[in-house]
Structure 1
Amino acid sequence: MPYIAVTALSHVGLIREHNEDSLVIGPWTLCATVTQNPQSLVFPLGRPLVVAVADGLGGQPGGEVASALVVRRLADLGPVLDGAEALGEALTACNSEVYAAADGRPELATMGTTVAGLLVLGETLLAFNIGDSKVYEVTWDGLRQLSVDDSPPPQPGMRTTSAVTQTLGGTRGFSPVQPHVATREVSVGGRYLVCSDGLTDPVPGEEIDRILRVHDDGKAAFELWKTAIEAGGPDNITLALVRIGE
């Protein structure tokens, strides 16, 4: 019987004082905490399943509050999401709820978060994002990015940028969002990576691809985290490897 296997971890990194990333896998959420080892979950293919990472905006108050709110809302809505329209409505609702949660609370003003993930249905898979967290398809030809970075081009000589042009919340006045959604057919053997920029900023795509080629999901998740730490661990590191098996 076809199934969805998800292996994930979340870690504060070496520089940040606390973890502002949150993670949702179906009904399971991990918010502003740390996993000591990769966690693996298996679900039957056919029912809607959301796997997503939310990266609370650093340098602004309440990043962990915003990211936790979003993943918990996606966990609640996940079982009834049946396509791109419903997914877009859910993400729009998450944006409104982040602003509503900050309303009248000065300590949470401008709190915000990115989000990126997968909605796996019976025959189709939707990759989605708002912000600069990423979704990749792992192919024989290398990593194929399915998400769309909401960020300006890096400065000359720089590989990445920390600027983000669209987030859930993040401004004093309400700003609507335009979610990015890409559709793929579900196929047995399909493999995907969902992650925050705490992995992709310090670790080049070529190295991520190499690790995924030579290790199974549990070992690969650990090695990806280890490589980000060895590169300085400048940010929170959250990732989920998703595989369609039978």
Structure 2
Amino acid sequence: MATKVHTVAQTGFGTGTNELYDRARPSYPAESPLNIVEIGAGTGIFTRALLAHPEWATSIGTLRAVEPSDGMCDVWTKTVNDDRSTIVKGTFDNTGIEDGWADLIIIAQAFHWCPDYGKASAEFARILKKDGAVVFIWNLEDRDGAGWVAQLRDRIEVHEKGTPQFRLGLWRKTFSTPEYISSFHPQDEEEWAYHLLASEQIVTDRAKSKSYITMLPPDEKAKVVEDVKGILERGDDKVWINKEEGTYQYPYKTYIVVSRKK
């Protein structure tokens, strides 16, 4: 089956960029159950959080991760060490999972890259058991949480160049496709605001880990880093955790969408 991966996702997350992604990106609040297919598993940030949580340990039989990027698969293999889990190459619309195997599909920080929402919905319905569910999860810096965060996002988002970022909401077209409507109930959505630990290094590395920033020429990337440093030095609305250690609050939001199979 012919499948497509967005050019920026493929190149921006190519070999050599993924150790930075794995170090810089935040993990996930630990609230998730059951036997799982994780699509777009990336470097294993969510996989590790899921497998490590003591409340989930007895309820996960097998986790089958699916990821199109060779570079991310390599990092996943190096960082996820659990006999319950494996990873294979695949995409949203071609997972390689057998019919009706999954109790739960999780897609963390990835579904905005989906090239065909209808085909993906059909694939989810195919591999899910009756009454199974798809959980879509995103973390995003909360521009309403502090002035410096809004300035940071304004500075880096100018480089998106039309890529299908989560914030644009293009992924919402999923829920109006015939394939989705015929197989799933209307989605449920939740949002949580919270703070992560921030420092100049953490914020700078996270900005550099964005796919569209990794692709910039060295001089442009250096200018981004310089401008981020200036934003952090001004520190509008910065809330210190430990000023001597240079740590402060990093406003974030997590968005979760749950779609249950009919």
- Give the structure-2-normalised TM-score: 0.29
The structure where strand makes up a greater share of residues is 1
* TM-score where L is the length of structure 1: 0.30
The structure number with the bigger radius of gyration is 2
Q: Greater helix percent: which structure? A: 2
Higher relative contact order (CA 8 A, sep 6+): 1
